[in-house]
Structure 1
Amino acid sequence: MESRPKKKRANLRDVAKAAGVSVATVSRVLNSPKAVSEETRLRVQEVIGMLHFVPSAAARAINSGRTRVVGALVPTLDNAIFSRFLAALEKHLAKHGLSLVVATTSDDPEIETEKAKGLVDIGAEALIVSGIAHSPDFDRLIEQTRLPVIATSYFEKSYHLPTVGYDNAGASRLALNFLLAAGHKNIAVVHGPVKSNDRTQARLSGLKNPVSSHTLQMFETDISVEGGCAATLRILERDTVFTAILCFSDVLAMGALFELQRHQIRVPDEMSLVGIDDLPFSSCTFPEITTIHLPVARMGEATAQAVVHWLDTQVAPKSVLLEAELIVRNSTRELN
């Protein structure tokens, strides 16, 4: 028994022929409907529905000269902070008819450059990156293509690209000052890999105080719950008696909390714990984690606005500083 041939997907010419108009008219109905009479527009739209015609992105790009695609390069999708940022970014780009394509870089400048080239190849009209530390090859690519690029998760007014983010040094300083004011002198600091991560480097710089009377010890680990557990185990093995742990992310703080509970160390009675991010789960743990709120969803919205402004006006937007905020919960206490 012979199989029936699959129906061919309707294209622009099929619609034009069935509606009795030119291909250009169908294109105007799709891209600039106000430029077509109501009678013609309704007839073409009726045929589009009858033929189940769906215009392809490639066809729209040929006709309009635009792909309406924006590329985002982020270190990972495993961390909820990037997921929240991307969700807000995509939502607000979609309001302006822009589609988001995401690529992960593992915080590796070389991978970032290759992924950026791939986004350029598919016609991305703008790129969004994390931080301000990028390889010379990436900078040359941007200079060559002259693409709009917004750097996020970092505020630096003097950077050669617009930035939308927060003061990372200020965020860690806010957490440290809170612990110092509560009487903590020996504090363990748990942070992610320093290499190629300017956000972590900036947060470390925010802890420097040459006239301080407190002691800080740094513990580098992977930014994961497992990494937080491993770093806390190392903290507990030290001879120093720490009274507080400051984690550079809530993900690390979650791991620290688990490891402390595994060793039956009560939080905050025997150890205070502070994170940075204010991820949703931080208010659901027991005890709830004191943290620094970073306005990640607002960053996604502001980044979308910056991209739309740049694409519409061909003028680079100004950098945007988003304020961090201390959220005090039950994982910290004042020392007597």
Structure 2
Amino acid sequence: MTDTGSKKKANLRDVARESGFSVATVSRVLNTPDIVNATTRKAVQAAIDALHFVPSAAARSINSGRSHVVGALVPTLDNAIFSKFLGALEAKLSAHGLSLVVATTGGDPDVEAQKAQGLVDIGAEALCVSGVTHSPEFDHLVARTRMPTIATSFYQEDYRYPTIGYDNAGASRKALEFLWTKGHIHIAVLHGPTEQNDRMHARLSALQEHENIINFKTEMTFAGGGEAVSALLRSAPHITAILCLSDVLALGASFELHRRKVQIPDQMSLIGIDDLPSSACAFPAITTVRLPAHEMGILTADAIAQWVEQDAVPEPRLIDTTLIIRESA
């Protein structure tokens, strides 16, 4: 008789003993039920239910050689653009029978390499990373393990890993050209650190050749956007428009402009890049360049599934950005 009061976790041998079948038969019921007759399946399932047995994913991985796990390395979870991407990626991977494990890197290539090793150690079958700047240790890990790896949030056709993303430089030019059409000549650009952020570097580099643009570097936070606005109002009162290379900075800038009673867009136009959900709810709603994070997640999941299931290396994919015109510019 089964001891239902026992706290010891049941294992495969316990199920075999309870059902009266061999361990091999129980294993076949769990892994290849179609080849086992219905009477045997029913008896083994009754034993599983009685023992509250939960099959071990690790054990199945050992038997099959597959973990069905994909690792994603992103700089942070604080920015909704990554949350949107990961949500779409996880949902589509699940539809392919794959699971997602996420690790954050803080934008540090060395941390990324360490976290990637951890994902490999738990059996990840593929990796997706942000951008195209990675450490030699990361590249060595990918080469040594022959790990399917996709770089996202950036498009570079000739990169060593397939890229699925958007034209970051083109996104900032799109925002700048819109401000020009509105008659703005003297424009401030608020941007985050570029040293280890190739996406931000590409957006900023696309604007460097233009005159009458003043750059303000700040932290990628709401507070950073506010501090940059304070600095530009002190040092460049002739500015009539602010181009933020992230909606996080645009929202922070908007808060500070409101605090200083600067009217948007009558006294200062404001535009961002990302199209975070909060940008549409701001007052006034923030004009921005939408980055296709959701679509990127879906395409990345499909590409990874094709790679790990069919050994088909994906082609690079460029996804269009979209100017979203609202009331702030």
TM-score range, shorter chain: over 0.9
The correspondence for 1:320, drawn from 292, 297, 317, is 317
The correspondence for 1:311, drawn from 300, 308, 311, is 308
TM-score (norm 1): 0.93
CA deviation digits over 1:27-84, x for unaligned, max 9? 2332333233333333322322222111122111111111222111110111111111
Percent identity, aligned pairs only? Answer: 58
CA deviation digits over 1:120-154, x for unaligned, max 9? 11111111110011011111111011111111111
Tell me the equivalent position of 1:80.
Answer: 80
Distance across 2 between alignment mates of 1:13 and 1:20: 10
Moved over 6 A (4+): none
Distance across 1 between alignment mates of 2:195 and 2:98: 33
> In 2, are the aligned partners of 1:154 and 1:164 still within 8 Å (CA)?
yes
Tell me the equivalent position of 1:54.
Answer: 54
Distance across 1 between alignment mates of 2:127 and 2:90: 13
Amino acid at match of 1:154: F
Matched position secondary structure for 1:222: coil
Amino acid at match of 2:100: L
Tell me the equivalent position of 1:170.
Answer: 170
Tell me the equivalent position of 1:65.
Answer: 65
Tell me the equivalent position of 1:230.
Answer: 227
Tell me the equivalent position of 1:10.
Answer: 10
Matched position secondary structure for 1:252: helix
Is there any run of 5+ residues in structure 2 with no aligned partner, and where?
none
Matched position secondary structure for 1:196: coil
Q: Which moved more, 1:100-109 or 1:19-28?
A: 19-28
Matched position secondary structure for 1:190: strand
CA deviation digits over 1:203-233, x for unaligned, max 9? 1122244xx5x41111111111111111111
Tell me the equivalent position of 1:269.
Answer: 266
Tell me the equivalent position of 1:218.
Answer: 215
Distance across 2 between alignment mates of 1:208 and 1:96: 43
Q: How many residues align?
A: 326
CA deviation digits over 1:129-188, x for unaligned, max 9? 100110111111110111111111111111111111111111111111111111110111
Distance across 2 between alignment mates of 1:40 and 1:319: 49
Distance across 2 between alignment mates of 1:157 and 1:326: 23
Amino acid at match of 1:83: S
Matched position secondary structure for 1:173: helix
> In 2, are the aligned partners of 1:27 and 1:63 still within 8 Å (CA)?
no
C-alpha displacement of 1:272: 0.4
Amino acid at match of 2:281: C
Matched position secondary structure for 2:54: coil
Tell me the equivalent position of 1:241.
Answer: 238
TM-score (norm 2): 0.95
Distance across 2 between alignment mates of 1:27 and 1:302: 35
Matched position secondary structure for 1:245: strand
Amino acid at match of 1:162: P
C-alpha displacement of 1:322: 1.2
- Residues 1:108 and 2:105 are matched in the alignment: no
1:78-227 matches, within 5 Å, as: 78-209=78-209, 214-227=211-224
Tell me the equivalent position of 1:297.
Answer: 294
C-alpha displacement of 1:290: 0.2
Distance across 2 between alignment mates of 1:174 and 1:292: 8
Distance across 2 between alignment mates of 1:6 and 1:267: 67
Distance change (3 Å), C-alpha of 1:176 and 1:35? farther
C-alpha displacement of 1:240: 4.6
The correspondence for 2:255, drawn from 253, 258, 265, is 258
C-alpha displacement of 1:6: 4.9
Distance change (3 Å), C-alpha of 1:19 and 1:274? same
Amino acid at match of 2:296: M
RMSD over aligned CA atoms reads 1.6
Distance across 2 between alignment mates of 1:28 and 1:166: 46
C-alpha displacement of 1:194: 0.5
